[in-house]
Amino acid sequence: MKLLFEYPDHGKTLSILPELDTPMAEIPDVIRRKSPLRLPNISENELSRHFAELESQTFGVCDGFYPLGSCTMKYNPKINDEMASLKGFTDIHPLQPVSTVQGALEMMYTLERSLCEITGMDDITLQPAAGAHGEFTGILLIKAYHEKNGDTDRTEIIVPVSAHGTNPATAAMAGYKAVNAPVRDDGCVDLEALKKLVGPKTAGLMLTNPNTVGLFEKDILEISKLIHDAGGLLYYDGANLNPVMGIVRPGDMGFDVVHLNLHKTFSTPHGGGGPGSGPVGCKKLLSEFLPVPRIVKKDGSYDFDFDKEYSIGKVRSFYGNFLVNVKALSYILTLGAKGIREAAEGSVINANYMRKSLDDLYDMAYPDICMHEFVMTLERQKKEKGVSAMDFAKTMLDYRMHPPTMYFPLCVKEALMVEPTETESKQSLDEAIAVYRKIYEDVMADPEYAAKAPHKTPITRVDEVGAARNPRLRFEF
């Protein structure tokens, strides 16, 4: 399809700017452009069609099965958006006097309390704009804690090799050395190996539980004791909270600080770069370091408290992605305590149903019962037939099905990671299973065809390495 710039200019313009009602400002010659702006000149009709066509070529949770492992692409109930479009939430300004926005503050306060309840934390900030941003905020809390205690020799954050790439990146951004902890063949952290890594240099450990291969770290209480005994703190990467929410709490597992990905677990839309929300909760011992302002409730009304001597400061303008937070609270209140637990259980049942329905064809990286997602490995097929996980994933596009996560986690070779989520029905899972089985036959029968897949999409196999190494970010006229 054509870019807007490539439409022929037939003199029809789309101008809906109102008449100027202020005096025209004089623009100094030095900054005045010498040639006219190169804007596409098309009609409103063409513009609408252009974007409708683009829309028809994208794929979202409302188009079909979207089992992107580690991303929790669940259906986002429309009521969340309805709540977030209420005038009382959209037509306010962050600098308005707090007496005029009590409802907005109550929303944030209620969300904070709900998330503390769900995670077992004492305090929380809604400021971080995504998971990675939450990690950075959380590790800064740990750093501030050690610094206040004069404990400045702690220079290391331990991160299992199975961790999401943002974990070691966060540790490095916060000025720590990321130390890799090995993972056993069963997919969980190697406790014996971990013991050798923990010591007086340990500032903390970052852990995802269930971890990034979809397994619950059953040794978590021992891990927690090990780190705490050494004077370190425990960071919970909450991206995988979905299968345990309402059942077990990070706070009770011994974690001191957590981030949540509201755009994953709490059903606010994501993809395409945001906006997201990555609240950070912590136990009392870290509360004083949380970003300002804190929301406080006094005598039945709400206010902001900026006066926190040990706060790490602000991590984002104003109060976070406010409307994303409205959507998350809407979801939490819609489900209630019982519904949250049921959602968690559903995600585990769906993942295991699909895993068991495929494990005669596809090799599972770990044979155990999984939580909300499972990892398949196509290492054997690669050796035998030269087909890759990428070929399987790209072939799925020809069935108008979104592929699972590819090549993550890094500790599994030729990985495809499937997270069906609780919002899929048995029927849609059965359809997906049938397609996965069909694709297996297709790919194995004709590896050469699969190597060029997809064949039926507007754009076929792209040069992903080239796009990453030599990106062309501007249209060349």
Closest approach, Cβ 371 to ligand PLP, in A, equals 13
Is residue 210 near ligand PLP by the rule CB under 6 A? Answer: no
Stretch that binds ligand PLP, among 114-122, 130-138, 176-184, 307-315 (CB under 6 A): 130-138
- Strand order, beta sheet including 280-282: 123-125, 280-282, 257-260, 233-238, 202-208, 156-160, 177-181
Is residue 57 within 8 Å of residue 458, measured between CB atoms? yes
Residue of 157, 220, 239, 397 that binds ligand PLP (CB under 6 A): 239
CB 141 within 8 A of CB 289: yes
Site membership for ligand PLP, residue 403 (CB under 6 A): no
Nearer to ligand PLP, 224 or 277 (CB): 277
Strands, E assignment, 306-454: 363-364, 374-377, 405-406, 415-418
User: Interacting stretch for ligand PLP, rule CB under 6 A, among 127-135, 149-157, 191-199, 357-365?
Assistant: 127-135
Tell me the Cα Rg of the chain: 25
* Among 42, 68, 130, 450, contact with ligand PLP (rule: CB under 6 A): 130
Helix, strand, coil content of the chain in percent (nearest 5): 40, 10, 50
Say if CB 192 and CB 164 are below 8 A apart: no
In the bound state with ligand PLP, the residue whose beta carbon lies nearer, of 104 and 253, is: 253
Q: How far is the CB of 199 from ligand PLP (least distance, A)?
A: 26
Nearest to 278 by CA among 246, 324, 330, 336: 324
User: Distance between CA 128 and CA 137 in Å, rounded?
Assistant: 7
Nearer to ligand PLP, 275 or 339 (CB): 275
| Nearer of residues 238 and 293 to ligand PLP, judged by Cβ | 238
Close Cβ partners of 419 (under 8 Å, ≥ 6 residues apart): 67, 68, 69, 70, 71, 72, 73, 214, 347, 351, 372, 373, 404, 405
* Contacting residue, 212, 224, 311, 388, with ligand PLP by CB under 6 A: 212
Residue 261 binds ligand PLP, judged by CB under 6 A: yes
Closest listed residue to residue 475, CA positions, set 31, 180, 35, 38: 38
Q: Determine contact, residues 206/157, Cβ cutoff 8 Å.
A: yes
Pairing of strands 363-364, 202-208: unpaired
239/396 with CB nearer ligand PLP: 239
Cβ nearer to ligand PLP, comparing 47 with 179 = 179
Closest CA to 125 of 308, 383, 374, 248: 308
- For residue 303, the surrounding DSSP H or E stretch is strand 301-305
Distance CA 39, CA 45 (A): 17
Task: Tell me how far, at minimum, the Cβ of 251 lies from ligand PLP, in Å.
Answer: 19
Taking CB under 6 A as the binding criterion, the range among 58-66, 114-122, 125-133, 331-339 that sits at the site for ligand PLP is: 125-133
| Binder of ligand PLP out of 132, 220, 393, 412 (CB under 6 A) | 132
Question: Shortest Cβ distance from residue 169 to ligand PLP (Å)?
Answer: 10
**Is residue 206 within 8 Å of residue 200, measured between CB atoms?**
no
Q: State CA 305 to chain mean position distance.
A: 29
Binding to ligand PLP in span 151-190, by CB under 6 A: 164, 166
| 208 binding ligand PLP? (CB under 6 A) | yes
Rule CB under 6 A: choose which of 278, 279, 320, 404 binds ligand PLP: 278
Report the distance separating Cα 63 and Cα 57, nearest Å: 11
The closest alpha carbon to 240, from 378, 408, 93, belongs to 408
Contact letters for ligand PLP, residues 316-335 (x by CB under 6 A) = --------------------
Q: Does 237 bind ligand PLP (CB under 6 A)?
A: yes
Closest residue to ligand PLP, Cβ-based? Answer: 131
- Hunting for tokens 């993942």 — which residue is that? 351
| Binding residues for ligand PLP, total number by CB under 6 A | 13
x-marked contacts with ligand PLP along 280-319 as a string, rule CB under 6 A: ----------------------------------------
Q: SS3 of 431, please?
A: helix
| Residue 215 engages ligand PLP in binding (rule: CB under 6 A) | no
Q: Which of residues 41-70 bind ligand PLP (CB under 6 A)?
A: 70
CA–CA distances in Å: residue 403 to residues 9, 58, 330, 357, 417: 39, 13, 29, 17, 9
Does 249 engage in binding with ligand PLP (CB under 6 A)? no
Of 204 and 276, the one with the shorter C-beta distance to ligand PLP is 276
Shortest reach from residue 70's CB to ligand PLP, in Å? 4
Candidate segments 4-12, 108-116, 124-132, 314-322, binder of ligand PLP by CB under 6 A? 124-132
**Of residues 120, 131, 204, 269, which one binds ligand PLP by CB under 6 A?**
131
Q: Which residues bind ligand PLP (CB under 6 A)?
A: 70, 130-132, 164, 166, 208, 212, 237, 239, 261, 276, 278
